[in-house]
Amino acid sequence: MKKERKIEMNVYKALQRNRTITLVATISAASVIIACLVFAFKVYVHNLESVLVMNENGEAIPVEWVKRTEIIDAKLKHHVAMFFRNYYQVDRLDLETKKQQAFWLINGEDFQKLEQYYTAKGWFDEIKRFGVVQRIEVLDIETKGQNEPFIFNATVKIEVIRNDLKDSYLLYASGELIFVSAVFPQNPHGLLIINYKEKPWQLITNNSELQ
């Protein structure tokens, strides 16, 4: 009987020891997993705030961490500038090609409204029939907002060249920007202009100062 009781006690101690080891191992594993999750979350948050880019000299090494908001702001402004250069900086030879490129950068409904407006004014017909050349200079683009839709306001100088005559106009435009899937090279930033509005062009006379 004593021998059997001793064996039972040894088995009980072994089970208790195994239970303790299992519990410690489980707690240790859980601690490691939690620590990894916390670390991953911190890395994720950091990546939301920063992105990896080339330095000013275009060198891949060393690379620098730049605030994500600064990169987004630069992309927003470049996207809007791309739209203006594609849609307004045109001549008879590249008009249709440039319009197709602009189509990728703006909401389809807003694009159709622009097409209807300038078609009604005879803008496209004048460029094609009389060889009008338009050149633009983006004077200012301001963006607002930390999340989409981002708001932008832009001022663009448009030069309309008819033979030896040149008239200059100011275009004031505004709208919003949202993220979409990037398409290279048509829409490299993965952005889309929505709710686009512009005021009638203002003729610049007598070399007047731009306001």
In the predicted structure, residue 69 carries a pLDDT above the cut 60: yes
**Single-letter residue type at 6:** K
Mean pLDDT check: name the lowest of 29-33, 152-156, 170-174: 29-33
**Averaged pLDDT for residues 195-210:** 81
Q: For residue 76, what are the contacts with CB-CB under 8 A and spacing of at least 6?
A: 141, 143, 150, 152, 177, 189, 191
Cα 88 from Cα 159, distance rounded (Å)? 10
- The pLDDT assigned to 63 comes to 46
In the predicted structure, residue 45 carries a pLDDT above the cut 50: no
- The pLDDT assigned to 158 comes to 97
Task: State the pTM of this model.
Answer: 0.69
**Averaged pLDDT for residues 1-9:** 52
The CATH superfamily of 68-204 is: VirB8 protein (3.10.450.230)
Cα 112 from Cα 119, distance rounded (Å)? 10
φ/ψ region of 198 (left if φ > 0, alpha if ψ in -120 to 50, else beta) reads beta
Cα 105 from Cα 81, distance rounded (Å)? 10
Mean pLDDT check: name the lowest of 32-41, 54-63, 193-202: 54-63
In the predicted structure, residue 57 carries a pLDDT above the cut 80: no
- The pLDDT assigned to 61 comes to 42
- The pLDDT assigned to 163 comes to 87
Q: What share of the chain in percent tops pLDDT 90?
A: 59
- The pLDDT assigned to 36 comes to 59
Cα 96 from Cα 19, distance rounded (Å)? 77
